Structure 1
Amino acid sequence: MITVTGANKRYGSFAALDNISLDIPSGSLTALLGPSGSGKSTLLRSIAGLESLDSGVVTISGKDVTHVSPQKRDIGFVFQHYAAFKHMTVRDNVAFGLKIRKRPKPEIAKRVDELLKIVGLDGFQHRYPAQLSGGQRQRMALARALAVDPQVLLLDEPFGALDAKVRADLRTWLRRLHEEVHVTTVLVTHDQEEALDVADRIAVLNKGRIEQVGTPEDLYDRPANDFVMSFLGEVAKLNGHLVRPHDIRIGRDPSMALVQNEGTAESAGVTRATVERVVHLGFEVRVELRNAATNELFSAQVTRGDSEALGLHEGETVYARATRIPVLPQRVIEPAAEGAVAVTASAAR
């Protein structure tokens, strides 16, 4: 387990870490998620020993490593940029850490062959980094970090420099790799989809503080506050409430926005809106709407089937309601404008 207790780090007047405490279970894949400047990379580098804390304690497997050099923390580190040795082959890059530790040559050869097979680079041993794709170079970097059998693997936005399709493929691959090697892994990312797709647990950071820690399901379905909800997925604002666009039901008349035995349009908080734009996104459709009562824009996501059944077109009047509203303790509920029926949390469930 990695434990960070009371971590503080300032750069002049800027607080990169503001009294952060975090437990990372052994064998987990934990994502540190947040916007630029939230402190996630500083926290990762503090765990690695690449940044010294102003105050606080870092322990790995029960050992205080706060003042231990990075080389003695038994970690593997992968950066966004691969930092490969260009003059070395794939095999020599992966073997580098083992050679530095003066492991026997047969042991090095066996370990390198095992890892290249695991990361899908078997047969690429004699190529040079320039002969690999970006995704292959990053997999080589991960194999090199794993070669020394570290207690902890730290990944600092490892897929940030790659295009969207390669990133998606590598996310799937990283998840499978983690299930196979089970090394405690910490991933820094600002990509919400990446965190939801890959991690067992997510710590959401903002302005040097941790807003919430939990499973992807916990954070998405039960966010602690507006920031977590807004950062972890799309949101729409409907009559002063933050809701997920896929939790908004649309109908041609007030009753069509309801489901059977749900009550009246007034009790369920049905809102009249105008269709501003219909955007087809493959298997789903985003409907951009304007609240007739408040004049605010909001978006709903519907299936292609529902969109085709409704026959939605710009300028038409429809009726919308939130089918689910997360309870956000720190949310300030704005009063609904005259003519709009505010949806309460109890009515949405």
Structure 2
Amino acid sequence: MTDNDSRPVDQAIVVRNAYKRYGDFVALDNVDFAVPSGSLTALLGPSGSGKSTLLRAIAGLDQPDSGTVTINGHDVTRVPPQRRGIGFVFQHYAAFKHLTVRDNVAYGLKIRKRPKAEVKAKVDNLLEVVGLSGFQNRYPNQLSGGQRQRMALARALAVDPQVLLLDEPFGALDAKVREDLRAWLRRLHDEVHVTTVLVTHDQAEALDVADRIAVLNHGRIEQVGSPTEVYDAPASAFVMSFLGAVSTLNGNLVRPHDIRVGRNPEMAIAGGDGTAESVGVVRATVDRVVVLGFEVRVELTSAATGGAFTAQITRGDAEALALREGDTVYVRATRIPSLPSDYGVLRGGEGSSADQGRTHAEAGSAGNFPG
């Protein structure tokens, strides 16, 4: 595991040497993991990577076979979930269908026998915070999916949890609603400052909302760092490929948007940093040009190896180049991340492209095991 942030901070959650096996499947392989107080940390990885198992171990819903879990300095490894001081929101939140939004949010406070005035004030404040103050008398079936998840978060926050655990809370919603809710979640976190752990397989969601991202694969944490660190300085080929599309040029993994395309070698070199590692020009044939809004994906085949790869260029560059299927172009990588020399199946000439990167990232997805 690589953690690019070594600054001393207070850790709200500390997991040490957590190991969990389901039959022959190792869900957590001696995981060490810490969450700084007040942060929003995302657990990111494909199905079967161990991210949900790690979250459930923190919550007390799954017991690790060995290892410890500490919350705010207290060993809670053998403590039941209801005594850990956590708020939990699942992908499919089980609301009380016969209770109004107000009563759903107030439920945890009422069973703790808080004074009525305190309950009303707390619920009113939370409904305002999550943007449901005008919906307090509605029932769950009268809310949209996004509104139900806002209600779920308000209910989890009502009991003042020490930590908030979110297990793919927006996974069942459509893409536009998810995009709106993740921006809202970031604003909510900045307002309430509750230590939060978010499980997601959505790279954009993790990059958008998290202070830190832990990337998991096959029950291990491959890297922990800020969104910028894990994207720009990946610790492994898996991290790089899982956090976005990749292509291979001259045996190096590169991002498609870091590939410059020109009609001649001089155009491919122009505008680069001039370093030796960035001047290797490859002649290629255009297979397809796909307009993706303000960007254009250019699917290419290397003249030298016959391998397929992809470049991502701006709409303006594409219009200036006037690319057509069958055109000969020259390409080069403008930026090459530093990766271990033995980065496995993604290495080896042009032809890895985004598709092979996705295949590598999904290698841990086989089997119906917890994520």
- TM-score (normalizing by structure 2): 0.88
Tell me whether 1:100 sits opposite 2:106 in the alignment: no
Q: Contact between 1:251 and 1:320, CA under 8 Å: does it hold in 2?
A: yes
Where does residue 171 of structure 2 map in the other structure?
160
Where does residue 282 of structure 2 map in the other structure?
271
Say which SS state the counterpart of residue 52 (structure 2) adopts.
Answer: helix
Out of 181, 184, 187, the position equivalent to 1:173 is 184
Where does residue 355 of structure 2 map in the other structure?
none
Say which SS state the counterpart of residue 170 (structure 1) adopts.
Answer: helix
Q: Contact between 1:94 and 1:143, CA under 8 Å: does it hold in 2?
A: yes
1:1-349 correspondence runs (5 A): 1-259=12-270, 268-329=279-340, 330-331=342-343
Measured in 2, the distance between the counterparts of 1:92 and 1:159 equals 23
Measured in 1, the distance between the counterparts of 2:226 and 2:165 equals 19
Measured in 1, the distance between the counterparts of 2:335 and 2:37 equals 35
Measured in 1, the distance between the counterparts of 2:349 and 2:301 equals 14
Quote how far apart the aligned CAs of 1:262 are: 6.0
Task: State the Cα RMSD in Å.
Answer: 1.7
Quote how far apart the aligned CAs of 1:331 are: 2.6
Quote how far apart the aligned CAs of 1:335 are: 6.2
Measured in 1, the distance between the counterparts of 2:234 and 2:200 equals 19
Measured in 2, the distance between the counterparts of 1:296 and 1:2 equals 46
Q: Contact between 1:254 and 1:265, CA under 8 Å: does it hold in 2?
A: no
Measured in 2, the distance between the counterparts of 1:297 and 1:83 equals 47
Measured in 2, the distance between the counterparts of 1:302 and 1:128 equals 48
Answer 1 or 2: higher relative contact order, Cα 8 Å, separation at least 6. 2
Q: Contact between 2:254 and 2:336, CA under 8 Å: does it hold in 1?
A: yes
Quote how far apart the aligned CAs of 1:257 are: 0.4
State the percentage of identical aligned residues.
75
Quote how far apart the aligned CAs of 1:12 are: 1.0
Code of the residue aligned with 2:236 in structure 1: it is N
Quote how far apart the aligned CAs of 1:263 are: 5.8
Q: Contact between 1:239 and 1:334, CA under 8 Å: does it hold in 2?
A: no
Where does residue 343 of structure 1 map in the other structure?
none
Q: Contact between 2:278 and 2:333, CA under 8 Å: does it hold in 1?
A: no
Measured in 1, the distance between the counterparts of 2:77 and 2:275 equals 61
Code of the residue aligned with 1:47 in structure 2: it is I
Measured in 2, the distance between the counterparts of 1:267 and 1:196 equals 27
Measured in 1, the distance between the counterparts of 2:219 and 2:272 equals 47
| Unmatched tracts of structure 2, length 5 or more | 1-11, 351-371
Say which SS state the counterpart of residue 330 (structure 2) adopts.
Answer: strand
**Matched positions, count:** 337
Say which SS state the counterpart of residue 162 (structure 1) adopts.
Answer: coil
- TM-score (normalizing by structure 1): 0.94
Quote how far apart the aligned CAs of 1:258 are: 1.1
Cα displacement string for residues 189-228 of structure 1 (whole angstroms, at most 9, x for unaligned residues): 0000100001000000001001000001110010001000
Q: Contact between 1:247 and 1:324, CA under 8 Å: does it hold in 2?
A: yes
Code of the residue aligned with 1:116 in structure 2: it is L
Where does residue 340 of structure 1 map in the other structure?
none
Q: Contact between 2:250 and 2:280, CA under 8 Å: does it hold in 1?
A: no
Shift of the 116–264 alpha-carbon distance from structure 1 to 2, 3 Å rule, reads closer
Q: Contact between 1:159 and 1:167, CA under 8 Å: does it hold in 2?
A: yes
Q: Contact between 2:263 and 2:330, CA under 8 Å: does it hold in 1?
A: yes
Quote how far apart the aligned CAs of 1:265 are: 10
Cα displacement string for residues 158-202 of structure 1 (whole angstroms, at most 9, x for unaligned residues): 000000000000000000000000000000000001000010000
Runs of 4+ in 1 over 6 A off after TM superposition: 264-267
Measured in 2, the distance between the counterparts of 1:314 and 1:198 equals 39
Code of the residue aligned with 1:235 in structure 2: it is V
Measured in 1, the distance between the counterparts of 2:274 and 2:36 equals 46
Quote how far apart the aligned CAs of 1:237 are: 1.5
Measured in 1, the distance between the counterparts of 2:278 and 2:337 equals 18
